[in-house]
Each structure stands twice: as structure tokens, then as C-alpha cells.
Structure 1
Amino acid sequence: MSDDTSPRVKRHRPILPHIRAVVVRLRFTLLMMAGLSVAAWLTDTGFGTVTARTIDLIGFAPRDLWELEAWRALTSAFVTDGAGHFILALGIVAVVVGIAEWRTGTPTAVLAFWGAHLATIVIESLLVALPLHLSGSLLGTALVAARDVGPSAGYFGCLGLALASLDLGGPVRLAGFAGTLAVLAAIVLMHVSGSAEETRELSAAIAHLIAFPLGVVVWCLHERRRRSSA
């Protein structure tokens, strides 16, 4: 009986299956990042600044809903204001949407992003901008015509979902919700008395304030479905 003194070769587990599993689990996040990158390349906003022509072509304004150009709600989500905003959007999508998708699954993350994005557009257009406009408010008229681009409503929806999904105690989670809403409301108030040039910023701030709690609602629906199927 002989002793085997030959060195043992350490077997490494294949890394490709792990990479594939991560890609599958974060497929929506990666798809959105790819979409933002392609849009930045097509519009030259990856390194430059978005032009007024680009905003006019694919941006969204509340009046587009009743002018039958609602398709702009989709195209506007993939274009940013320029290089700095593009990099920021990529980072936020990677982190916030990534956490939301990792913790709750792809279907829930898709609902939080696109559901919040589209619902925010409808709510802000029909329940905020249009009533103010019909009342004769100059601010309302400016909001109705304010054309904007960017995925921020979607990722603020995912922020609400991600925050709700974290393993935090009830008081800590509630404080996180309240603190975030307070900051978003303060930003809205900062822009209300701004100049006409700041109408886009005001419109975006209102959208963020609407989208964040919608993401929390998506988490509540997700938890209800999960518990009912358990």
C-alpha cells in the first residue's frame, strides 16, 4: 500500500455560472443602464449637454397627454440633461434599481420603475399641472408646457421600493420614509417661488415627491402577494 504524496490540485468553482446568475437576477437594471447608454450615444448627451431640439423631439410635457403624444412618456425616460446627469443616472440606476431588483425580483422592480414613472406623469399632469392651469395660475400654465427628460421618477419609485425592502426595524424604516419625503417636499417648496427658467426643476421635484411613495405602495403589494402565496 503506497502513500500518494503528489500535490493535490485545488479545484476552482467555475465563475461563469455565478456571473450568469447575477446577470439574470439584475437583468432589468442592466437593461435600463444599456438603454440609457444607447440613448446618450444617439443624442450626444454622454459627454455633452442635451439640446433644446432633443428635448422638443422626445421630451415629455403634461400637455402631451391630451395632445395625443403620450409616447413621449417612454422616450423621455432614457435621455438625460447631459454628461453629469448621465453619469449620475447610471450610478443611481445601478445602485437603487439594482438593490430593488435584487431584493424583490425583476417583475416588482419593473413595476416600481415604470409604474411609478407612468403613474407620476398622469398624476402630475392631470391632478397638479392641469387644475392649476385651468384656474388661471401662471405657474400651472408653465408646468403644463414644461418639457423634461430623465429617468428620475422611475428610480425614485425604486428608491421607495428599495428602502421598504431593507431589513430595518419599523421605527427606523418609518424615519427613513418621513425623512425622505420631508427632503423632497422641501425641494419642491424651494422651486415654487423660482423663476420661469426653473419650471423644469419644479416639475421634476414634484415628480420625485409623487414617485417615492408609489414605490412604497409597490412594496406593500409585493409583500401582500408574497404572504398570500406562502
Structure 2
Amino acid sequence: MQFAGKTVIITGAGKGIGRACARIMAERGAQVIALSRTASDLESLQAEIGGRSIVVDLAEPAATRAAMKEAGTADFLINSAGTNVLETSFDMTEAGYEAVMGINLRAALITCQEFGRARVAAGGSGAIVNITSIAGHRGFPEHLCYAASKAGLEGATRVLAKEFGPHGIRVNAVAPTITLTELALKAWRDPAKSEPMMARHPIGRFAEVDDVARTIAMLLSSDTEMVTGTVLTVDGGFLAT
């Protein structure tokens, strides 16, 4: 119960890594405030772990700010909400760009900003973990905007760590390899594409959502009080090869 008495806001909590984070943080004592655009996902999560739920479309900046204000002051923030539109560099559309950058980058910056403001008003301290991707480190076909959004979030994480640090707020990111969520299964369902990629992982498999969620819980814990401004890869050794 290492997070007993603590509150965590989790975006994208209805599915995938965000939902795994919600379960693990609740199991370890935290009160979870879950944000998602799908009400049915939040209802089933709340039935499973309790806590609070806020339905919000993070593609809308004003709605994102309103949801963070409704969530109130929390001890931790996990930015898990993400999307992808599979388009090549030749076929990129304005709609695809707006969809990916709006949720993956702009929404995360807004939630970090609102979280930081609330924490400073409450006297400081707290921690944020942003979820990025190895796509921000390696080039994958049809991931142009996705890669740009994740690399951008890593750069922003370092700036946030520098500016929030004097207030006792730590900001880190995790960069997972392919993690077996609905989004990843859509992008990597073709064995001709996935098998050569898996072979580049020394551990010999892709990540499960709990692999990432446990790493995030570690970065939020008091065990990592001197860790801020870092991007921790959760990639089974992919970037080492």
C-alpha cells in the first residue's frame, strides 16, 4: 500500500496501459481519478477499482482544462492517453496530424500545466509520468505524426522537470516498445511486420501493459526521489541492439 492516502489522475484510463496503471495504483492504495472519452470504459473501471471518473475528449483543449480543474489537486499525474493514424510521409493529412498531435502532445502539455499549477498552489511536491514511445527514437513507417508527438513529449518532459523541479515536482517519461494494447495490435497485426520487429528484442517478446504500469508506479514512488527529467525505456533491450 505504498500510495495509501495519495491521489493520481490518469488520462486514457479506460483502456490499455492507462487501465493497467489505474488497477496497479489502486491496488497499491491510491485513489484514482480516471479520465477517458468512453463512458462505458470508465463505468467498468470504476466498478472494478472504485475512485472517480471524468468523461472528456482530450482532443478539445478547453474540455481538457475543465476536466483537470474538475479533477482537482492530486499527488500524481499519469499521461497515458494516446492515439495513432497510420499514414506514410507522402500521405499525411491535416486531419491525421491534428488527431495525433492534439491528443498525444497538446493534451499532455495542458494536463501537466494544470497539474503543476494546482500542485504549486497547494505548496508543491508531486510527480508526473508521461508515456512516450520508442517510436520517438527509431523511425517506423506510417508513424510520422506519432513519432513527432512522442519525441516532442520527451523534449517537453525535460523542460517540465527543469521548471517544476524547484517546486518539488518530479517529471519523467517512459518509452515503451510495442505494448500489446488494442492500438498496437491494429498497427502490428501483420506477422510479416511484427515478427522481424520482435526478433530485435533481446528479451524475445513485446511488452504487456502491466510491464509498463509497474515501471510507472516505480517512478512515482519514493524509491525514485532523485529521478526527474529522464526518459526510461521499457523496451526489452530493443534500443540496445
Q: Report which of the two has the higher share of helix.
A: 1
Q: Same fold (TM over 0.5)?
A: no
Q: Report which of the two has the higher share of strand.
A: 2
TM-score by length of 1: 0.27
Q: Is the radius of gyration larger for structure 1 or structure 2?
A: 1
TM-score by length of 2: 0.26
